[in-house]
Amino acid sequence: MRNVELKVEGMHCQHCVAATKAALEAVPGVRSVEVSLEDGTATLEAGMIASDGKLVAAVEGAGFKATVA
């Protein structure tokens, strides 16, 4: 397992946080997800099967911009 932090842009409310969290939790290999509206970040624990590209794509699929911090 590895720890990953993503910078997430475009979140404005708790609904955005929930959508981001759900999108990341749906990626195979993701174990735990914490999303901070205040910091604009998502911190997660994931296996190697959950590549950085898959994580970014999941957040972008939820309607937000993401980059690996």
In this structure, what CATH number is given to the domain that contains residue 9? 3.30.70.100
Per the structure, the complete domain to which residue 24 belongs is given by: 2-68
Per-residue model confidence (pLDDT) at position 24: 98
Torsion on CA atoms 11, 42, 37, 22, rounded to nearest 10? 60
CA 53 to CA 37: how far, in whole Å?
22
Per-residue model confidence (pLDDT) at position 27: 98
pLDDT digits (tens, 9 = 90+) for 7-60: 999 999 999 999 999 999 999 999 999 999 999 999 999 999 999 999 999 999
Per-residue model confidence (pLDDT) at position 46: 96
Q: How many domains, in total, are found in the chain? A: 1
